[in-house]
Structure 1
Amino acid sequence: MHFRLVVLRAARVVALLLLPALAAAQGERKVLTQDTYDLWRSILQPTLSPDGRWAVYTLSPTAGNGELVVRATAAATEYRVARGSTGRPLQSVTGQPFSPQAAQVTGDSRFVVFLRYPTQGALDSARARRARAADQPKASLGILSLADGNVTEIEKVRGYSVARDGGRWVVYQPEADTAASRNGARAGADSSARPARRKDTGSPLVIRELATGTETRIEHVSAYELNESERWLAYARAGADSLGVDGVYVRDLTTGVETALKVATGNYRSLAFDEAGSQLAFITDADSWGAETVRFAVYHAALAGPRSRPGPQQATRAVAASEIAEGLQVAERSRVDFVESGSALTFGVSRIQPDSIPADSLADKAVVDLWHWQDARPQPMQRIQAGQDRNRQYTAIYHIAAKQMRQLGSREFPNITLSSDGRTAVANTNVPYELDAIAGEGGTDINVINTLTGAVRRVATKVRGGGQLSPGGKYVTWWENRAWRVHDIAANRTRELTAGVTGVSFEDESHDTPSEPGPYGLGGWAAADAAVLVYDRFDVWDVDPAGVRAARNLTDGAGRRDSMTFRVVDFDADLDYIDPAAPLYLRAFDIRSKDAGVYRDRLGANTAPERLVMAPKTWPVLQKARRAEQFLVARADFREYPDLWSGPRFDQLTRLSDAMPEQSQYRWGNVRLHKWMNSDGVPMEGLLYTPEGFDPSRKYAMVVYFYEQLSDNLHQYHRPAGRNIINPSVYTSLGYVVFFPNIHYTPGYPGPSSVKSIVPGVQSLIAQGFVDPKRVGIGGQSWGGYQTAYIITQTNLFAAAVPNATVVNMTSAYGGIRWESGVERAIVNYERGQSRIGGSLWEYPERYMENSPLFFLDRVTTPVLFMANDADGAVPWYQGIEFFVAMRRLGKEAYMLNYNGDAHNPRKYANQKDIDRRMQEFFAHHLLGAPKPEWMERGIPFLERGRDQLNR
C-alpha cells in the first residue's frame, strides 16, 4: 500500500494550529481539568538527521493517536504522518507503559523509517471483542523520502532494521502467518532424535532497496543482523528438517551474493559483527542436535579471506561445548559480541539447570520457604531474583589470533568490564561481604584480570561502589575513604587521583544522610587515557592519571566563583573518550538564580569556558548532528512548553515545533523563588506558584507539597496530568497558591526537621497577607507523605492533608521488606538512608518513636485523605492500615484509598486519574468550601465498589 503525503509549509501548519488559541485569547481562559490530560501532547524521541538538515520526532497525546513530524532545520518544510496510537495509557497494572519505537533517519539522511501503529479506535475495538493475538491490529512500516515527503507504507510488519551508516536498504520482517508458524514449529522439531528439543521458528525476511522499492524475500529466518556499514546482512534460517535450510548465511549487499557459513540442523542465535564488519560470530547447538544432551557452541567466521579464497569463509567452531567448565554451558540466550578492536569476542556461560521437580510429586509434600539467618539474600529477594539467578550468565572471552578461550566471570566475579582490546578486565565483587551487608558493612573488592594468562590481581579491598576501567584499559578508578583512587595497571601502582589539588572537596558537600558522602563523579577520559575529568561541586578538573602533570581546573574556577555547576555534555555516545582537538561542551546551572545553559571549553585550553547560552530556562534536550555543526534543543520554563529549537549556534536557534498551542487557552500560573529562615536560623528557599492574575491584596487558599529539595526546579515545565502528587500547573489553574518548600535535615530527626523547615515557610507566606491561614492544605507522596503525616501531629496549621503511601510507624516499618526488590528496610531506609535515623532500632529506640506519626495521632485535628495500595513494593501497605485504624479509633476524619493490585505510584491510568480527582475534591471541600462529594459523605460499601466509576 502506498500513499502520497502533501508537503505543507511549516508556517502555514503553525498558523492553522494557532487559530483556536488566538480565539481563546480574546475571551476567558479555561481551567485545566481532567478532560485536558488526555489531549496534552508530548514530544517523544527527538533526533537530528546525520547531516543536521532535518529534525524528527513523534508528537503524542497522553491517550490517543500521535503523528510523526519531520521538520527541516533551515527551511519551512514540514512533513506530518499519522503514527496511530502512540499515547496508549497503560491499562494493566502488571505491564510496562507502551513506548513507540523511535523513527530512524538513514545514515545518508535521505529517508526516515518508522513504524505506524494501530489507531486507538482499532485497539479499543479489538479489546472490546476480545480478539485473539493473531487477530489484533498490527503495525505497518513507513518509509518517508526526505526529498519530496512521499511515504510508502507496508502493512503488517513486526520489526525492521536500518544500518547506522547506510542508507540504501531497510530489512524488515512481516507479521508471521500464525497457522504457518505453528506448523513450522512442529515440523522443525527433530522428533526422531530428541522429541523434547524445540526448534526456533523462522519467518520471512525482506530486504528492500529504499530508492527503488525493489525487494528480495528470504524464507525461514529466525534471527538477523545488519552491520553498521550496510555491506553485510547475516541471518539464521530455521525450517522443517526436510528443507535442509538450518544454518547461518551472510549476504553481501553490494553484490547480492549469499554465502552459507554453516548449514546443519539446529538452532542459531546471537549473530554479531565486529565493528569493522570483517568478522561474524554466533552460537549454535547444531553440533549436538541429535544427542541426548544438546549444548551450544560458539562459531566464528572471517568475512574477508586471503587472496586465494576471497570473500566470506566457512564458519569454524571457536569454542566447543566440551571446553566449558563442568556444570556450565554456553548460555542458550548468550549475547555474543566483539571487543572494540575485533581481536576477541565475548559470550556468556550459564549453569546447567537441574531437571525441574514434577508438580505432582509434591502434591502430598510440605512446601516451605526456609528463612536462614545466614542467607546472603532474604527469601523475598531470592524469589524476586529467581529468574535472574536461573538465567544468570558469566562473561567468557575468546582471543581469535591465539585461539584461546577463558572464562572470566563466575559466582565470585559476577561483574566483568573489558578493555577495548579485550586484554584486560576489571572484576568487581561484593560476594565476600554479602553477610556483612546485613549490618550495613558491605563493600566491593576490585580485581584486575589479564585475560590472556588468567592472572588475577586484587587492587582494592572492601571499598564503596566499584572500580571503573578507563577506555584504553590503562587505569582503574574508584572512590575510597572520601577520595578518588587510581591504579596504574602496568605499573601495579595505586595513588590518590587528586592528591595535588588543595582547598577543594570532591565529595558531595550537601550530603545529609548518616552515611559516607559519595563523589560528584567523573566527566570522561581523554584519548589514550591521557587525562580524566573529575567533578567537584562546581568545576571540572583535568587530571593526569599518571600523576606526572599537575591537575588543572579546566573551567578556570568559574564554577565556584559564580556558584555555577559545570558538567560535560556527551554529544557522541559512540565515542568512549573525549577528543582533545574538538570543542568540549558543558551544561551549566546557576545554583542561586536557577538559570541554566551551555558553555564551551577545550581540553588543554588556558581560558575560562565560553558562554554560549544562559537563560532562566531548562534544556531537557541537547543534541548535535553526527556530521554537522547543527544543534537540536528543547527549552522550557514553568510557562513555556518544551518545544524544539535548532541552529548552528546557540545564539542562532530557530523554533521548529509548536506542540501545544492550545495551552494559551488555559489559565496558567507563575512561579518565583521564596526565601525564609527555618526555626534554627538556617536560610531556606522554595518555589511559590501563584495563579494567573494573582492579586497580592486577595486571600488565597494554598496547597503545600514537598520532597527533599525541589527549588532547583524553578524553571521546570509541569505537564498537566493526573497523578498522586500536587501538579502546580493544574492547581494554580484551579485558583490555588502552591508552595514547594525545601527541607534542611538534622541527622536522626527527619520528622522535626520537616516541621522546622516547612511551618516557618508557610507562616512567612501567611505574613505577606495573600494566604488565608484557615485554608492551607498539605500533601506529599512516599517520603513526602511520611513527613506530611508527621507535620500534622505537631501543628494545627493545616486544614486538610494528603499523605500518600506513607510510613507512620518506624518501629514496625524498620523490620519490613521492600517487596518490589526483597530488600530489608532496616539499613537502606533507616540506619543509613533517606529516613536518616543513623542507627538501629536497639541503638536509638527513642528516635524511632519520636519520628513516628503513629504515636502522636491523638493530637491531629487535620482531616486526611491518603492512598495505601496493597501492591506497593516500596512502603508496606500495612503502614496505611495502621494509620487508618488509629485515626478511626481516635474518631478523626480519615479516608484511605487502596487501588487493588496497584503500586507505590499507580501504574494504571484510570487509577492515576481517580486519585487525582479525589485529591482535588478533598481539597476543594476543605479549602474552597465546595460540597462534600458522595464518596466523602457516605463512603463506598464493598458491594457497591465500581458503581461510582460507571458514569466517568
Structure 2
Amino acid sequence: MALAAMTASLCLGTGATAGAQGRKALTQDTYDTWRQIQGAVLSPDGRWAMYTLTPVVGDGDVVLRETGGTRERRLPRGWTGRPVTSVVVDSPFVAPQPQFTADSRYAVFLGYPPQAQYDQARRDKLPAARQPKAILSIVPLQGDSVASIPRVRSYRLPRESGRVVAYLLEPDEAPRDTAAPATAAGRPAQRKTYGSTLVIRDLATGNEARIADVTSYVVDDSGRYLAYAVASRTPQSDGVYLRHLATQQTATVMAGEGDYRQLAMDRAGTQLAFVSNRDEYREPRPRHVLYYATMRAPTPVVVAAPGAVDGLNPSDKAPVSFTRSGDALTFGVAAPPLDSIPADSLADKAVFDLWHWKDRRLQPQQRVEANRDRDRAWTTVYVPRTKRILRLANDTMPQAQLSDDGRVALVTTNVPYAVEAMWGEGGTDVYVVDVTSGTVTPVARRQEFNAQLSPGARYVTWYGDGRWSAYQVATGRTIDLTGAIRGVRFDDETWDSPSTPQPYGIAGWTRDDRSLLVYSRFDVWEVDPSGARPPRVVTDSVGVQEKLVFRLVDLDPDERWIDPAQPLLLRAFDDENKGSGFYRDRLGVTAAPQRIVFGDRSYGTPQRARKGGQYLLTQQTLREFPDLYTGASLDAVTRISDANPQQGEYRWPTVELVRWTSADGIPLKGLLYKPDDFDASRQYPMIVYYYETLSDGLHTYHAPTGRNVINPVVYTSLGYVVFFPDITYEIGFPGPSAMKSIVPGVKSIVARGFVNPKAIGLAGQSWGGYQTAYLITQTSMFAAAVPNAPVANMTSAYGGIRWGTGLARAFQYEKTQSRIGGSIWEYPMRYLENSPLFHLDRVTTPVFFMHNDADDAVPWYQGIELFVGLRRLGKEVYFISYNGDVHNPRKRANQKDIDLRMQQFFANKLQGAPAPDWMVRGIPFLEKGRDQLNRSPDVPR
C-alpha cells in the first residue's frame, strides 16, 4: 500500500476529534497544494503589484493587482520550480522575478510549460534542445490583452525606458554536427556554438526587428543602445554590433571569425567592452584580447593583449563590467589553462589523490572547488580616462573591491591563514591600493570579520578587538570609532560559541562618507569616521530601554547613501515579547523614534515604489499566511492577496510564548503549539523539537510541509502538543547544556497538567539530531526519539569531512556550533563525554532516525555508528538512509517518505497506533523498492 494512504490512519490520534468545528487534519495530499508568493514587486508608479502564486508542486500563476482598487488579472505561468522559501527539489530552476517597464505601462515575465510536460520530457530522456521551453508574456496594464512569445531564452528591459523589450529566442533546433575548422597546426578547433535569433520589440506598436545568430546582448539604462555578439555559420559575420534603438541603425564594432564574449556596457550607454579571440581563432589554443570602445567612436581599441598584464591573458570566463559611474572597467586575467587529460589515457595507469601536509586546501575541498579553480581569473582594472591598467588581485591577495571612481581598491587575503582556517583560526589581511600609483598599503592584519570600503572610498572600516575602526585613505590614519562608548557592545551580547562574537553590523553611510551608522544590540549609532565628532545614539537609547531591536530599512537598494535630510524608516522587534513593527526617526535630531505601527505579528521588509509613496509588504502570524499588503502609509495598509483560502478547512494551532529557568538558573523562552480544539482538562502526547533558539519565530507562519523536521501545524493537526524550547550553551559542554535547557522546559509544560508524561517524544535534525541522541543517553523521560542526521561520535566526526564543501570538520568543534572550545588533544574528555556513542548503554528510548548516504554536511558513518552501537546493546532502533540524497533530502519522494515514517513512528510510540510493517519486520535488501507499508488500524481516541 502506498505511503500516502497511511496518512488517514494517523489523523485520528488523541485530540483529533470532531470538536474542531468540523475542520480536517492536514495530510500529505494537502501539502503540495499549499501556495507561496514569490517575487512580489511594485510598478514604478506604485499603481500595480505583481507576484507569482505557485503551489509547492504544480503550476503557478502571475497575479497582477491594482493597489488602489480591486482589479486583478491572473495569467498562467506554468511550472516555476519549487518556491524559494522551500527546499528546492526535483526542479531545474527558480523562475526569475517578473518585471514592470520603467513607464509602468507593461508587465513582462517568463512563463513555462506545465510541470507535466517537464515530467514527461524527463521520463522520455529528451535532449536539451527538445525539452519544454519558456514563454515570454507581455501584458499591457490597461486592457485585457497579452502577447505570448514561445521558445524564449532570456529578455532585457531598459531600466529607465519603457519603449522596447529585447529577447533572445531558443535555437530552432540543436546545432548540426558540422566539421570544425582546422587550426593553423592542422588540428580541429574547438566546436563552435552558434547564436540564435534576437528580437527587438517596440512595446507600443508591436513592431519587431530580428537579428540572427546572437549569443549575448546588453541594453543601457536609458534604452538608447543595444550591443550584441554574433556567432554565425557565416564566419565573417561573427562579431560585436551596436544598434541605436531609436534610429534602428546598426554599426559594426568588430567583425571576423572568432568568439566574442563578456559583453559589457556602462549604465549611461557611452562605453562598451568585450573579449575576443578573433586574431588567434584558428590557433590550437587561441588567446583572448580585451577591447574597449565608446559610442561616439565605436571602433574598438586593444586594452589588454595576451601577456600584457604581468604575462597573463584576458579571461573569457571572468565578467567584464563597468563601475557604477562608468569611470573604470574591471576584467579578469589568467594563465593559460592546463591541457586536459583524456580519460582513456588513464585506463592502465594509477589514479589517486595525494594529500600533502603543506597543502592550503585538503583534496576534497580542491575537488569541490575544481571548476572555480579552472576558471579563476584575477581582477584587473582599466581606467579609460588615464588608460591606466593595474592587476589588483593575485594568488596571494585574491579578493579585490574597486571604488566607483576607479581610484582606490580594497584588497584582502586569507591565504596566509588558510591552513589554520581548517580548525577555525583563520583571518584576513587588509590592504588599500592606489590605482594611479600602484602603491599597496597594509591596513589591518588577521581580521576575523570582513573589511568594507566606504561608498566614497574615503575609508576602510572593520570590526575587531571589540570596536569599529576606520582607516582614512587620504592620511593613512586608523581611527577608533566606538572604543570610547562605555557600556555598549557592538558585537553579539548573547554569543555562546567559542569563536569571537560577531558584530551586529553596519546600517550604511551618509552622503560623502560623512557619517557611518552601526548597530548595537538594540539601537542605531552614528559615528564620524574621521573621529572629529563624538558618537551619538540615533534612536535615543529607546531600543535598549524598551528591549526593541531597531534596524534600518533600505527603501532604495540602488542608492549608495543615506540621505540625512530624509526620515529613516526603522524596523523594530520586541526581543522580550516577539512583536514587531516600524518606527520613523531622523539624523541630527535629539528625539525618540516615532512609532508608525506595531503589533503581535511579523512584518516583512517593505518596498516602496520608485515614483510615489506606495508601499508593499507582507505580514504574518502563525494563523495568517504572509499575504501582501499595500498602502501609502505603513499604518494604513490593505491586503491584496489571499494565497491560501483553503486554510479555513483545516485544523490550525495556537501558539504561546512560554518561559522557564534552566538547571543553571538562566531564564529561557520557548514556543508551545496547541491543537485547534485544545482542552486543558485532557492530556495530550507532546513532541519536543529544537535547534538552538527558535522563540523569535513566535509569529512565523508554518505552511504544512512534509519533510524531515517537525512542522508544528501538521503535528498539532494530528493531535499533539508541540514544544520548541530555546537552548543556551556553556562552552565545552554542548550536550549537558542542551539537557539543562530542554528538560526543565519539558517539566514546566508537564506540570501544567495537559501533557501525558509517558507520551513525550523528541526530534531534531543535524545539530538538533545530535542533541536528541545525547539527551536519550541522559534521561528516560522520553518515549520516542528521532535524531535525524546526527553526530554520534565527536572523536571520529572531528576528523571527518563536510563533503559538500570539502572542509575538515575540526573548526566546528574548536570554534563554532559544536562548542567544544579546543582540539581533541587539548580536551579529549570533552569529546568523549559529549559523544552519545559512549553512553548508549543508558538508552531506554526507542529510536528512529534518518541519515542519508550522500549527506553533504554530517558524514553518514555517524549514523552507522549510532545504529550499530544501539543494535549491539539490544536497543530498539530503526535507521533509514535515502540513497544518493543529502543532509536535508532534496528529492520530493524522499521528503514525503521520511515525513510519513516519522508520523508513523510517533503514532506508534506516543498514541498507541499499531506498528507498521517496516517497524515489525524491516525491509530486506532483496525487497528494496517494494512498498512494505500496510494500513494501520485507527488509533484509539
Measured against the shorter chain, the TM-score band is over 0.9
The residue aligned with 2:814 is 831
The match for 1:220 among 210, 213, 222 is: 213
Q: Is the 8 A contact 1:160 1:170 kept in 2?
A: yes
The residue aligned with 1:679 is 663
The reply on whether 1:211 has 2:204 as its aligned counterpart is: yes
Question: CA shift at 1:808, angstroms?
Answer: 1.0
The reply on whether 1:125 has 2:120 as its aligned counterpart is: yes
Query: How far apart, in 1, do the equivalents of 2:491 and 2:587 lie?
Result: 23
The change in CA–CA distance for 1:189 and 1:629 in structure 2 (over 3 A counts) is farther
Q: Is the 8 A contact 1:161 1:171 kept in 2?
A: yes
- The one-letter amino acid of 1:698's match is R
Query: How far apart, in 2, do the equivalents of 1:675 and 1:94 lie?
Result: 37
Question: CA shift at 1:941, angstroms?
Answer: 0.9
Report matched runs for 1:456-467 at 5 Å: 456-467=440-451
Q: Is the 8 A contact 1:189 1:198 kept in 2?
A: no
The change in CA–CA distance for 1:237 and 1:922 in structure 2 (over 3 A counts) is same
- The one-letter amino acid of 1:349's match is V
The match for 2:101 among 103, 106, 131 is: 106
The reply on whether 1:914 has 2:897 as its aligned counterpart is: yes
The change in CA–CA distance for 1:85 and 1:439 in structure 2 (over 3 A counts) is closer
Question: CA shift at 1:324, angstroms?
Answer: 2.5
Query: How far apart, in 1, do the equivalents of 2:135 and 2:57 lie?
Result: 20
The residue aligned with 2:288 is 296
Report matched runs for 1:326-345 at 5 Å: 326=311, 328-345=312-329
Q: Is the 8 A contact 2:918 2:932 kept in 1?
A: no
- The one-letter amino acid of 1:378's match is L
The residue aligned with 1:763 is 747
The residue aligned with 1:927 is 910
Query: How far apart, in 2, do the equivalents of 1:676 and 1:458 lie?
Result: 50
Q: Is the 8 A contact 1:283 1:296 kept in 2?
A: yes
The reply on whether 1:859 has 2:842 as its aligned counterpart is: yes
- The one-letter amino acid of 2:435's match is T
The residue aligned with 1:158 is 153
- In structure 2, the residue corresponding to 1:434 is in which secondary structure? helix
The match for 1:77 among 47, 56, 71 is: 71
The residue aligned with 1:948 is 931
The residue aligned with 1:470 is 454
Query: How far apart, in 2, do the equivalents of 1:402 and 1:220 lie?
Result: 36
The residue aligned with 2:14 is none
The residue aligned with 1:34 is 28
Q: Is the 8 A contact 1:25 1:665 kept in 2?
A: no
The residue aligned with 1:65 is 59
Query: How far apart, in 1, do the equivalents of 2:423 and 2:185 lie?
Result: 56
The answer for unaligned runs of 5 or more in structure 1 is 1-23, 306-311
Query: How far apart, in 1, do the equivalents of 2:252 and 2:656 lie?
Result: 67
Q: Is the 8 A contact 2:184 2:282 kept in 1?
A: no
Q: Is the 8 A contact 1:749 1:837 kept in 2?
A: yes
Higher RCO, Cα 8 Å, sep 6+: 2
The residue aligned with 1:285 is 277
Question: CA shift at 1:94, angstroms?
Answer: 9.1
The reply on whether 1:637 has 2:630 as its aligned counterpart is: no
The residue aligned with 2:823 is 840
Query: How far apart, in 2, do the equivalents of 1:89 and 1:636 lie?
Result: 17
Query: How far apart, in 2, do the equivalents of 1:189 and 1:496 lie?
Result: 64
Q: Is the 8 A contact 1:89 1:98 kept in 2?
A: no
Query: How far apart, in 2, do the equivalents of 1:77 and 1:172 lie?
Result: 29
The residue aligned with 2:502 is 518
The residue aligned with 1:884 is 867
Query: Deviations for 1:213-265, whole angstroms, at most 9, x for unmatched residues?
Result: 111000111111111111111001111245x2111111111111111111222
Query: Deviations for 1:690-730, whole angstroms, at most 9, x for unmatched residues?
Result: 00121111100100000101111100011100111000011
Q: Is the 8 A contact 1:250 1:260 kept in 2?
A: yes
Question: CA shift at 1:368, angstroms?
Answer: 2.2
The change in CA–CA distance for 1:186 and 1:69 in structure 2 (over 3 A counts) is farther
TM-score by length of 1: 0.94
- In structure 2, the residue corresponding to 1:216 is in which secondary structure? strand
Query: How far apart, in 1, do the equivalents of 2:892 and 2:38 lie?
Result: 19
Question: CA shift at 1:190, angstroms?
Answer: 6.9
Query: How far apart, in 1, do the equivalents of 2:567 and 2:669 lie?
Result: 36
Question: CA shift at 1:96, angstroms?
Answer: 6.2
The answer for unaligned runs of 5 or more in structure 2 is 1-17, 936-941
- In structure 2, the residue corresponding to 1:722 is in which secondary structure? coil
Query: Deviations for 1:628-649, whole angstroms, at most 9, x for unmatched residues?
Result: 1010011001011110000000
How many residues of Structure 1 are paired with residues of Structure 2 in the alignment? 917
- In structure 1, the residue corresponding to 2:65 is in which secondary structure? strand
Query: How far apart, in 1, do the equivalents of 2:519 and 2:894 lie?
Result: 42
Question: CA shift at 1:160, angstroms?
Answer: 1.3
Q: Is the 8 A contact 2:547 2:576 kept in 1?
A: yes
- In structure 2, the residue corresponding to 1:731 is in which secondary structure? helix
Query: How far apart, in 1, do the equivalents of 2:173 and 2:193 lie?
Result: 15
The residue aligned with 1:275 is 267
Query: How far apart, in 2, do the equivalents of 1:298 and 1:600 lie?
Result: 49
Query: Deviations for 1:885-916, whole angstroms, at most 9, x for unmatched residues?
Result: 01111111100010001000001111111110
Q: Is the 8 A contact 2:83 2:94 kept in 1?
A: no
The reply on whether 1:168 has 2:163 as its aligned counterpart is: yes
Moved more, 871-880 or 614-623: 614-623
The residue aligned with 1:43 is 37
The match for 1:575 among 556, 559, 576 is: 559
The residue aligned with 1:249 is 241
Query: How far apart, in 2, do the equivalents of 1:493 and 1:200 lie?
Result: 53
Query: How far apart, in 2, do the equivalents of 1:796 and 1:615 lie?
Result: 41
Question: CA shift at 1:210, angstroms?
Answer: 1.2
The residue aligned with 1:901 is 884
The change in CA–CA distance for 1:861 and 1:354 in structure 2 (over 3 A counts) is same
Query: Deviations for 1:315-368, whole angstroms, at most 9, x for unmatched residues?
Result: 222222241322x21112221111222122110112212212343443333222
- The one-letter amino acid of 1:252's match is H
TM-score by length of 2: 0.95
The reply on whether 1:148 has 2:133 as its aligned counterpart is: no
Query: How far apart, in 2, do the equivalents of 1:230 and 1:717 lie?
Result: 42
The match for 1:704 among 688, 692, 708 is: 688
The change in CA–CA distance for 1:395 and 1:477 in structure 2 (over 3 A counts) is same
Query: How far apart, in 1, do the equivalents of 2:242 and 2:123 lie?
Result: 45
The change in CA–CA distance for 1:821 and 1:127 in structure 2 (over 3 A counts) is closer
The residue aligned with 1:11 is none
- In structure 1, the residue corresponding to 2:604 is in which secondary structure? strand
- The one-letter amino acid of 2:31's match is Y
Query: How far apart, in 1, do the equivalents of 2:129 and 2:275 lie?
Result: 30
Query: How far apart, in 1, do the equivalents of 2:87 and 2:716 lie?
Result: 31
Query: Deviations for 1:341-398, whole angstroms, at most 9, x for unmatched residues?
Result: 2122110112212212343443333222111122111111111111111111110011
Query: How far apart, in 2, do the equivalents of 1:770 and 1:234 lie?
Result: 70
Query: How far apart, in 2, do the equivalents of 1:147 and 1:518 lie?
Result: 50
Report matched runs for 1:736-751 at 5 Å: 736-751=720-735
The change in CA–CA distance for 1:529 and 1:28 in structure 2 (over 3 A counts) is same
Query: Deviations for 1:153-196, whole angstroms, at most 9, x for unmatched residues?
Result: 112212211112221111112220224x336x657887897632
- In structure 2, the residue corresponding to 1:445 is in which secondary structure? strand
The residue aligned with 1:938 is 921
The residue aligned with 1:139 is 134
Query: How far apart, in 1, do the equivalents of 2:136 and 2:422 lie?
Result: 52
- In structure 2, the residue corresponding to 1:917 is in which secondary structure? helix
Q: Is the 8 A contact 1:63 1:89 kept in 2?
A: no
Q: Is the 8 A contact 1:792 1:860 kept in 2?
A: yes
Moved more, 569-578 or 725-734: 569-578
The reply on whether 1:389 has 2:370 as its aligned counterpart is: no
Query: How far apart, in 2, do the equivalents of 1:494 and 1:930 lie?
Result: 68
- In structure 2, the residue corresponding to 1:178 is in which secondary structure? coil
Q: Is the 8 A contact 1:50 1:625 kept in 2?
A: yes
The change in CA–CA distance for 1:130 and 1:824 in structure 2 (over 3 A counts) is closer
The residue aligned with 2:46 is 52
The match for 1:613 among 580, 593, 597 is: 597
The change in CA–CA distance for 1:26 and 1:705 in structure 2 (over 3 A counts) is closer
Please give the root-mean-square deviation of Cα atoms over the aligned residues, in Å: 2.1
The residue aligned with 2:832 is 849
Query: How far apart, in 2, do the equivalents of 1:432 and 1:92 lie?
Result: 36
